[in-house]
């Protein structure tokens, strides 16, 4: 099992994640690309003392970035997890 802080890296604070948080009680995190749904669920439950109802993941492709005049590089690929909390865990959302 991975260390909890190696699985969950940071919250993903975007306009879409704020809307999901208010309407559905779903929190979005950047996670380790090699972590699976079970590891992500255990890490969030242990780190934040909440009950997780479901976990959905998405792998995001890195963007192309210009490096110098001629060459083009890419940022790293990353993974995000949509974590839906149980009904009684809505107060957790105010802490993030």
Alpha-carbon distances of 77 from 16, 33, 58, rounded to whole Å: 20, 8, 11
pLDDT on residue 36:
95
Per-residue pLDDT of 3-50, as tens digits, reads: 777 899 999 999 999 999 889 889 999 999 999 999 999 999 999 899
Q: 1 pLDDT exceeds 80?
A: no
Convert 56-69 to b/e letters by CB count within 10 Å (16 or more is b).
ebeeeeeeeeeeee
Three-state secondary-structure class, residue 79: strand
- Band of the pLDDT at 88, cuts 50, 70, 90? confident
DSSP lists the bridge partners of residue 58 as 80
Domains and CATH numbers, the chain: 4-95 (3.30.70.330)
pTM, entire model: 0.84
Residue in 43, 45, 30 with CA at minimum distance from that of residue 85: 45
């Amino acid at each position: 099992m991975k260390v909890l802080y190696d699985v969950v890296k940071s919250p993903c604070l975007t306009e879409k994640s704020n809307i999901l948080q208010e309407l559905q009680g779903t929190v979005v995190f950047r996670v380790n690309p090699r972590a699976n749904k079970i590891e992500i669920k255990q890490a969030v439950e242990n780190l934040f003392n909440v009950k997780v109802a479901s976990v959905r993941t998405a792998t995001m492709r890195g963007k192309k970035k210009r490096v110098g005049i001629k060459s083009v590089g890419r940022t790293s690929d990353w993974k995000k997890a949509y974590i839906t909390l149980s009904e009684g865990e809505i107060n957790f959302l105010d802490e993030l």
